[in-house]
Structures are given as structure tokens and as C-alpha cells.
Amino acid sequence: MTTGDEPLMGIPDIDAALSPYLPPGCLIVVIGTPGSGSHLLAKQFAQAGVGSTPVFYYTTAERTIDSQDAFRSFHWDPEPIRFGNLSDDYYQRVLEPQLEVSRIRERGLRLDDLRNARRAEVSVGPYSLVNRFLNDLAGLDAPFRLVLDSLDFLLELLEVSEVVNLVRQIRSRTQLLGGKAMVTVQQASLDNKSSAMLEDVADLGITLRSDPNGATFEHTLEVRKLRNHPERTQIRRLTIDDTGFHVAP
Amino acid sequence: MVLVAGGVGTGKTTLCLEFLVRGAERGEKGLFISVTEASAKLMQNFSTFEFFHTDLVNNNLVTIVDLPIVYDRLGLNREELKPGEVDILVRTIQDLVRESGARRVVVDSLTSVGFRVRSEEKARDFILKLAQAFSELGTTSLMVAEVGAVPGVHSLYGVEEAIVDGVVMLSNVRRRGDMLRVLQIIKMRGTVHSRAQYVIELTPIGLLMAPFLKGGRLETA
Ligand SMILES: Nc1ncnc2c1ncn2[C@@H]1O[C@H](COP(=O)(O)OP(=O)(O)OP(=O)(O)O)[C@@H](O)[C@H]1O
Ligand SMILES: [Mg+2]
């Protein structure tokens, strides 16, 4: 398969409706409501690139092994996908030391806590995580597919403008190398202004919803923005089975 | 609490070390809180003095604490301290003094802590609270202040001079092409003291003092 005809998201009807209008390098921003399946869509999108380009899956929402299990539960092989886990990193480098700090503050520092300790030269912060991610990104030199699931956690740590800037860097990389990138975010993490800023960067802006309908939930995918093709905005009802999302008949 | 004020290389650290060592010889434990230099490097420098023995540290008669490690352990390594963190820092220093059993304490230097604390207001707050803590503990303490060559200025934050019991000024004085180290007691509460300048010499056996003689007779030898 060539990069020209690789699936967009792995939902054939939607891919067919949107692919002709998207450039080879593009950024998809998925805004999700709770339970709408944005993590699933992220995986389906990743899976759709397997066999065409190297696929990178960065998660901040779950442990790597849980991600991999989720892939398997939809009969997708996680083996070819390269995982990057920003939340493990965050836990080890930021949260764990923070816990230790509050423990020590609580009980008081003792001389023993100082023995065998080295002077810390640099303090770790959210920037080191973002830098690591940007480093990986800068290391790519051929068409790629990349998922960042999700921005929520970065929004907790950084200014919105910094997060938008990161997304912008992802997009410029996709344009340069012909890559497809998807970033996801929960609607609740965004105010109107920040969702406008994010959608502005996107080539394809999608909102995923899950609304109660009788005894079940109805899943909808809204194509809210397709760059240069406002006439292509649309709303599709989705179903989910053990092979992922499908357009409802 | 006595302020040891002086410019770079004037012998502040050496004077403070000797203060702790002389105390230890009399059975008073000492705590050296180092801010600017890592304790390992400090130990290296200290061992070049004959009056200092590493046994003093090994036997916990002199305890050296790296304040940057304390910052790190307390999570005070962000750009600016939050409200309340000054109190945490002071309380921690108080705890460490208590745990070490020290009767003599050195902070080298107060100026560096001030830079870490960032705003002048917080630096003043820190110095006042630290002075309060030391007075509660009943320790004798030397606070190093790195000050420039401006005559009459012995502190950076304006409060140190006022709250301390004494100020000892160390400076370099040029005399006929020689650089002399000079010590002068600017103030010392509750005692009658000389206000004269003394020439000091940093020697392996400690600090030697001689009256500073006017008129260049020093060079007659
Ligand atoms: N073993 C030694 N014997 C004699 N003199 C020494 C010895 N070790 C260091 N010195 C002298 O002590 C001087 C430094 O003294 P000291 O470190 O106490 O000054 P300081 O005021 O603390 O300096 P700084 O501003 O760098 O902290 C050195 O320049 C050196 O001349
Ligand atoms: Mg010094």
C-alpha cells in the first residue's frame, strides 16, 4: 500500500468521504465527550496506518500495556506500533518526587535524608516531557503516522498557548514529511477560546459524542471542520463492535 | 547571631570554620550549612587546614549540610518560593540544628539563600524568622554576608545589621602594593569592643590577628 491510498481513520465510509479533500500531510484534532470513544478512535486511526508508514502512539491516558491490550481486544496487532508513554514518565519524574516531597514536609527533614544525596542540577518539570516528545518528533524523517492521546494531561501542566504551540509543531512536521497526526482532547478540558485555538490549527476537526438514547448510547461523529472545504462538514452516526467504529447503516 | 560580612576571598568561610572547630574542641557541636559550595568540595578545602580534622565530621562534632539538597528534598527547587515555603525552610533548618545537637551554627552564606528566595521581601522575612528560630534554640550563629566594597554597607537586605547581635567585617586592603586581609568589629551588643582594624592572616593553623598599624610600619621588616 502506498501513502497515497492508505486509510485515513479506518472507518471506510468516512475515509472515503474525507480523504479526497485532505492533503498528504494533515493534522486531525478530535474533541471528545466522556465515553465517546476518543481513545478507541485514536487506536483505530493508528491501526489504519500500519503497513503504510511507521506508527507512533503517545499516550498520557493509560499505561502502555493497557493500550496494547486494548489494541488486541479489537483484533489489532500492537506489535508494529511504537509506543511512547508520557504519563509513566510524568509519574516517575514529577508525581513520585512530589509525593516524596510532601511526605518529607509532613514528617520533617532529617539529617539522614541528606546523606548520600547529590545536589540536583536540574529540576524536572512538564517541559522535559514536552521536550522529549518534540525530540522524537524532530527525529522523524519520512512519512509517519502519529497519535497523541490525549492533550488533557498537558493542559493541566502547561498554558493553553503552549499546548497549542506543541500541536502546531506537530502539524508543521506532518506537512513537511507527509505525515498524518491525530491529537485528542476532552471537551471538558477546554474553554471556548482554547477549543477555537485548537480547531484553528486542525486540518480536520472532529467532535465525538455519546448521548443516551433509550437504553443505549448513541455515538456520533461530527466533522466540524475540513480545511478549505466547509461544504464537507457533516454528522455521522456510529456503531461500535469488536472491530472498532463503523458508520451506522 | 553575628554577621560575618565581607567581599570575595576575604576569609569568611575560614573564620566560620574555625569558629566551629574551636567550639568542637570544647565539646560544643557545630552545624555548617553550606549554600554556595558542595560539602564534598568544602571538606577538601577544609582538610588543607591543620586545625581541622575529618574526625570532627566523622564523629558528628561538626555536621555539614548542603542547603541545595535540602531545597531539593523539600521541593523548593522551583523558580520562586510560594508563600509559606519560607516557613518550611526555616522550620527545617531548626529541625536539623536540633537533631545535630549543634550549639554553634554557620550559614554560608545568607546572601545566597536570599538569592534563592528571590524577592527581597521574602529574603527579609527569611532572615527575621531564622534569627528568631536560632534565638529560640539558644545557639550561637555566624551568618556570612557577601557584600561588595561599599564602605559602611554590611548587608544586602538592610535588616541583617539591625537584627544581629554583632557585625564582623572582613575586607581586603591595599597597602603599598600588598593586599592585606583586615578584620573589624563593627558592632557587638553587650560588650565593650575595640573598633580598630586588625590585620589577619589565614594560616594552616588558623586565623592569626595583629593590630593594623597606621603609617606603613608593617613594611619595615
Ligand atoms: N590551607 C590554607 N592555608 C592558608 N590559607 C588558606 C588555606 N586555604 C585557603 N586559604 C586562603 O583562604 C582564602 C579564601 O578564604 P575563604 O574561603 O575563607 O574566603 P571567603 O571570604 O569565604 O571567600 P568566598 O567569597 O570565595 O566565599 C584563599 O584565597 C586562600 O588564600
Ligand atoms: Mg566562602
- Range from A87-96, B129-138, B150-159 that averages highest in pLDDT: B129-138
- Catalogue the long-range contacts made by B114-117 (C-beta closer than 8 Å, 24 or more residues apart): B114/B156, B114/B157, B116/B35, B116/B71, B116/B76, B116/B81, B117/B81, B117/B86
Cis geometry, peptide bond prior to residue A150 (ω within 30 degrees of 0): yes
How are strands ordered across the β-sheet holding B62-66?
Answer: B62-66, B30-34, B104-108, B140-146, B2-6, B166-175, B178-188, B197-203, B206-211
Question: What does the pLDDT read at residue A116?
Answer: 66
- Which residues in chain B have their CB less than 8 angstroms from residue A119's CB? 38, 66, 68-69, 72
E runs forming strands in chain A = 26-32, 55-59, 81-85, 145-149, 180-186, 204-213, 216-226, 234-241, 244-247
Tell me how far apart the alpha carbons of residues A24 and A170 are, in angstroms, rounded to a whole number: 14
B56-85: average pLDDT: 87
Instruction: Give the residue from B32, B69, B94 with the most A CB atoms within 10 Å of its CB, the best one to mutate.
Output: B69
The shortest C-alpha distance from B67 to chain A (Å) reads 9
Cis geometry, peptide bond prior to residue B109 (ω within 30 degrees of 0): yes
Opening angle at CA A148, ends A89 and A157, nearest 5: 55
Tell me how far apart the alpha carbons of residues A16 and A190 are, in angstroms, rounded to a whole number: 30
Q: Could you say which of B63, B68, B73 has the minimum Cβ distance to residue A109?
A: B73
Q: Could you say which of B38, B66, B92 has the minimum Cβ distance to residue A108?
A: B92
Question: What does the pLDDT read at residue B103?
Answer: 96
Question: At which residue does the C-alpha cell 531545597 appear?
Answer: B71
How are strands ordered across the β-sheet holding A234-241?
Answer: A81-85, A55-59, A145-149, A180-186, A26-32, A204-213, A216-226, A234-241, A244-247
- Which residues in chain A have their CB less than 8 angstroms from residue B70's CB? 109, 114
Q: Give every CB contact of residue B94 below 8 A, 6+ residues apart in sequence.
A: B133, B136, B137
CB of residue B14 inside a 6 A radius of ligand 1: yes
- Pick the closest to residue B45 from B13, B5, B78, B72 (CA basis): B13
Contact A63, A216 (CB under 8 A): no
Ligand 1 pocket mutation pick from B8, B13, B14, B33 by most atoms within 8 angstroms of CB: B14
Question: What does the pLDDT read at residue B190?
Answer: 82
CB of residue B11 inside a 6 A radius of ligand 1: yes
| A123·B77 Cβ contact <8 A | yes
Query: Percent of chain B at pLDDT above 90?
Result: 43
In the predicted model, is pLDDT for residue B99 greater than 80? yes
Q: Does A107 contact chain B (CB < 8 Å)?
A: no
Task: Give the homologous superfamily in CATH for domain B2-168.
Answer: P-loop containing nucleotide triphosphate hydrolases (3.40.50.300)
Low-confidence ranges of chain A (pLDDT < 70): 1-4, 90, 93-94, 116-128
Tell me how far apart the alpha carbons of residues B55 and B62 are, in angstroms, rounded to a whole number: 9
Quote the distance between the C-alpha of residue A154 and its chain's center: 11
Quote the distance between the C-alpha of residue B118 and its chain's center: 20
Tell me the pLDDT tens digit for each residue of B106-126: 999 888 888 777 788 888 889
CB of residue B8 inside a 6 A radius of ligand 1: yes
The shortest C-alpha distance from B138 to chain A (Å) reads 20
- Which residues in chain A have their CB less than 8 angstroms from residue B38's CB? 119
- Give A 64-103 residues with CB within 8 A of chain B: 97-98, 100-102
Name the CATH code of domain A12-81+130-247 (choices 3.30.300.160, 3.40.50.300, 3.40.50.620, 3.40.190.10). Answer: 3.40.50.300
Tell me the CA–centroid distance for residue B12 and ligand 2, in Å. 6
Q: Using 50, 70 and 90 to split pLDDT, how confident is the model at B78? A: low
In the predicted model, is pLDDT for residue B178 greater than 70? yes
- Pick the closest to residue A126 from A172, A95, A171, A84 (CA basis): A95
Total Cβ atoms within 10 A of residue B37: 18
Tell me the CA–centroid distance for residue B113 and ligand 2, in Å. 14
Give the domain ranges of chain A.
12-81+130-247
Nearest CA to ligand 1 atom 14: B9
Nearest ligand, measured from the Cα of B45: 1
Q: Using 50, 70 and 90 to split pLDDT, how confident is the model at B220? A: very low
Q: Does A248 contact chain B (CB < 8 Å)?
A: no
Question: What does the pLDDT read at residue B100?
Answer: 96
Tell me how far apart the alpha carbons of residues A3 and A7 are, in angstroms, rounded to a whole number: 9
Q: Could you say which of A111, A118, A119 has the minimum Cβ distance to residue B96?
A: A111
Torsion A4-A6-A9-A12 (CA) sign: positive
Q: Does A116 contact chain B (CB < 8 Å)?
A: no
Question: What does the pLDDT read at residue A115?
Answer: 80
- Pick the closest to residue A161 from A194, A132, A115 (CA basis): A194
Classified as helix, coil or strand, B69 is helix
In the predicted model, is pLDDT for residue B200 greater than 90? no
Total Cβ atoms within 10 A of residue B80: 11
Specify the DSSP class assigned to residue B81. P
